[in-house]
Structure 1
Amino acid sequence: MGMVETGDDAPDFTAPIANGDIEPFTLSEHLGESPIVLAFFPGAFTSVCTEEMCTFRDEMAQFNDVGATVYGLSVDTPFSLNEFRDQYDLQFGIVSDHAKEIIDAYDVEMDFADMGYYGVAKRSVFVVDADGEITYSWVSDDPGVEPDYEAVEAAAEEAAR
């Protein structure tokens, strides 16, 4: 599987979502909430990820205005993700890709080899429209870089039309 690109169908997945509770989440069943912003991040509670998820939290109004729904994704357990949501008052659900199937399907897997930590999500953002098509994709090989939030908002607004 190569990189998922703009214009591709978003790979479907089912995984637990941390939303205060823990329940199964299947992407294709949520396309009615489109546009959907999938924000992959390497690890809960790490500084840049916290910064990023808090920025998404603070920008939620803009996404809500265009009817977009934001979901975080990481390979953390759903239990730690609920803890992360509580601690930072995040208003959106975070999908737990504990089985590492989603990062594989989206080809956004990376390793922190120097830490001996393998198979985490690259920091990346995909916008999925009502047809399940990816209309925007951004993938960083540098975990220290945050996405261009304005570009993501513009893409979500575009996909909402």
Structure 2
Amino acid sequence: MTLTVPAVGSPAPDFSLHSTNGEVVTLAQFKGKANVLLAFFPLAFTSTCTAEMCAFTEDYSSFADQGVVVLPVSVDAVPSLKAFKTQYNMGVELLSDFKREASRAYGTLMESTFFSNRAYFLVDKAGVLRWSYVEETPGTKRENSEILAEIAKL
């Protein structure tokens, strides 16, 4: 099965995912209210993912000041994500795509490993995909400064 990344300018696929705070989060709940950065990451407790999630926590106010909600998404189960968040004192809620539905909808699931590649999707308040970047390998990541520069273009 070949997965396709949604095209910039198209409606962003909606999802319902459990978060580390016990709520179910949908993309639709932000429509008309906030821009959203979906940040798919491969696995909790791995070095690049840990550095990335800690950087989102450190720069949380920079995203919030630009009206952006950061939603990190991984295929890990909620209990694993809660432990990951607690261990590194992360300020962002993490979303569990345990059934891999969001990863498939966004074309990021790597079927051979059954986890998502690292990828970023910027969705505007109207629910339209405005920018995306899928890493060549899961071990690389964008810097927040690059992501914030894309947000500034909204």
Q: Scaled by the length of structure 2, what TM-score is found?
A: 0.92
Which residue does 2:9 correspond to in 1? 7
1:94 aligns with 2:102: no
What does residue range 74-153 of structure 1 map to in structure 2 within 5 Å? 74-111=74-111, 113=112, 118-153=113-148
Question: Mind listing any 5+ residue stretches in structure 2 that lack a counterpart?
Answer: none
Distance 1:72 1:37 in 2: 8
C-alpha displacement of 1:58: 1.2
C-alpha displacement of 1:94: 1.0
C-alpha displacement of 1:151: 2.2
> Which range moved further: 26-35 or 134-143?
26-35
What does residue range 54-69 of structure 1 map to in structure 2 within 5 Å? 54-69=54-69
Q: Which amino acid letter does the alignment assign opposite residue 97 of structure 2? A: D
C-alpha displacement of 1:32: 4.1
Distance 2:49 2:35 in 1: 22
Change (3 A) 1:86 1:57: same
Distance 2:38 2:151 in 1: 11
Q: Tell me, yes or no, if the aligned pair for 1:33 and 1:69 is still in contact at 8 Å.
A: no
> Which range moved further: 27-36 or 102-111?
27-36
Distance 1:57 1:36 in 2: 15
Distance 1:145 1:151 in 2: 14
SS, match of residue 22 in structure 1: coil
Q: Which amino acid letter does the alignment assign opposite residue 103 of structure 2? A: I
Q: Scaled by the length of structure 1, what TM-score is found?
A: 0.88
Change (3 A) 1:33 1:39: farther
Aligned residues: 152
Which residue does 1:155 correspond to in 2? 150
Q: Which amino acid letter does the alignment assign opposite residue 141 of structure 2? A: E
Question: Mind listing any 5+ residue stretches in structure 1 that lack a counterpart?
Answer: none
Q: Which amino acid letter does the alignment assign opposite residue 158 of structure 1? A: K
Comparing both structures, which one devotes a greater share of its residues to helix?
A: 1
Which residue does 1:30 correspond to in 2? 30
Q: Which amino acid letter does the alignment assign opposite residue 144 of structure 2? A: Y
State the percentage of identical aligned residues.
Answer: 34
